[in-house]
Amino acid sequence: MEERQEQRLDSEDLNLETVRTWALWQTEVERRIGAQFTRREVRWRAWASIRGLLSPVERKNGWQLAEVNGETTPYGVQHVLGRAMWDADALRDDVRPYVVEHLGAPEAVLVVDETGFLKKGQHSAGVARQYSGTAGRVEHCHIGVFLTYASPRGHVLLDRELSVPKEWTSDEARCAGAGIPAERTFATKPQ
């Protein structure tokens, strides 16, 4: 009985230390990237979204992220991701030094991989019938290509790009309607 109680106390101490560590991490990351979110409400919602993504919630969609943060609808999360003004590339550039500082190692590697996101509609940017490794077959989907930095000290998602099929890049009106820039040309996934 005593041994179990000691283990529980050790576990509680570890959890408290973990909470302290995460609070320090969050403060440091917020300091580095806070300028990317110039409006206070957008900055708060961005942090709420990150907290939701780091939470133990099994599914990480807008509804669940909102629920984790005590909101009744996903509109705030959706606003940050779709309508708020911030630059994802600038944010990535601000996070890079933090990644190198905390995860940098000579034996680190960059990993490029794609993920398919199954879709039913015709209007979402880049959706088409194409091979999805996620589904293991040709499906109606988006394909996202992701860059991860991996070292013995940990790994982090660094960058992303939507793979836009030829049937989209050859149709300027369709691209414009989905918010794909006119200068976007077809590229293979490795490109």
Q: Report if pTM > 0.75.
A: no
Q: Sketch the domain layout of the chain as residue ranges.
A: 87-191
Spatial separation of the C-alpha atoms in residues 164 and 173, rounded to whole Å: 14
Q: 130, 143 in Cβ contact below 8 A?
A: yes
Tell me phi and psi for residue 21, to 5 degrees. Answer: -60, -45
Positions of the chain with pLDDT under 70: 1-14
pLDDT above 90 covers a percentage of the chain that reads: 24
Kindly report, residue by residue over 97-135, the tens digit of the pLDDT.
888 898 999 999 999 999 999 988 777 888 999 998 888
pLDDT given at position 14: 57
pLDDT given at position 189: 73
pLDDT given at position 15: 74
Spatial separation of the C-alpha atoms in residues 104 and 181, rounded to whole Å: 34
